A and B are shown apart, each in its own frame.
Chain A
Amino acid sequence: SQQGEEDPQALSIQEGENATMNCSYKTSINNLQWYRQNSGRGLVHLILIRSNEREKHSGRLRVTLDTSKKSSSLLITASRAADTASYFCATDADDAGNMLTFGGGTRLMVKP
């Protein structure tokens, strides 16, 4: 079963626009992470937000976490063609021991 579910499943935007991806999860968590995967490659960690944090920034990335709604969002500002990739949220659930559970991902295409 998947703890995190991303929405939308696919997103297509023009270069320079902002991209917003959402993640919902089911149980209480210690932290939530976002990863990027370029086609055919391994995942790369983008940002980690802990359960007691509400917002975090890293360069053009902004992540929010609402534990009352069990949801998170990833905003990429001023998108570039190089941002084209799949984006996954992953949760470290309280009751999951040493396991990180991934959602199904959002496929982002940024058109030049």
Chain B
Amino acid sequence: NAGVTQTPKFQVLKTGQSMTLQCAQDMNHEYMSWYRQDPGMGLRLIHYSVGAGITDQGEVPNGYNVSRSTTEDFPLRLLSAAPSQTSVYFCASAPGSGGETQYFGPGTRLLVL
């Protein structure tokens, strides 16, 4: 199993550009989530999904959209990037609920100029 994969590894955007961060898992996990990690800080939850077709907001959802059309994929969309969205983004999945052990992808480092 590849586990949780994320693409791209690194991206530079200009303010106002849009992009989609991809996340996929091959463990048949119901729960998937997106976090952002700013320098020297812990992770903050952006959006999460408890199954295909179901998404919900986390702690810092503004400026981000998500969808979950399949169990495997959970893309994160930035519609109009802002410098404040410069961060490292991690996708994670869990077999059941979000309160259980989560499995993390390697991260996407995003720089917004």
Do A and B make up one complex? yes
Interface residues of A (CB under 8 A from B): 1-2, 4, 30-31, 33, 40-45, 48, 88, 92, 96-105
Asked if residues B104 and A99 are in contact (CB atoms below 8 Å), the reply is no
Asked if residues A42 and B106 are in contact (CB atoms below 8 Å), the reply is yes
* CB nearest to B50 among chain A residues: A98
Asked if residues A104 and B41 are in contact (CB atoms below 8 Å), the reply is yes
CA distance A100 to B98 in the complex (A): 6
CA distance A22 to B113 in the complex (A): 37
Q: A98-B50, A104-B41 are in contact. Are A31 and B99 (CB under 8 A)?
A: yes
* Chain A binding surface SS class: loop
CA distance A67 to B99 in the complex (A): 17
Using a CB-CB cutoff of 8 Å, which residues 54-113 of chain B contact chain A?
56, 58-59, 90, 92, 97-107
Asked if residues B45 and A100 are in contact (CB atoms below 8 Å), the reply is yes
Q: A43-B43, A104-B42, A105-B42 are in contact. Are A98 and B48 (CB under 8 A)?
A: yes
CB A97 to nearest CB in B, in angstroms, measures: 8
CA distance A92 to B33 in the complex (A): 14
Q: State which of A33, A48, A92, A99 has its C-beta within 8 Å of the C-beta of B48.
A: A99
CB A52 to nearest CB in B, in angstroms, measures: 15
CB A101 to nearest CB in B, in angstroms, measures: 7
Residues of B within 8 A of A92 (CB): 98-100
Asked if residues A101 and B45 are in contact (CB atoms below 8 Å), the reply is yes
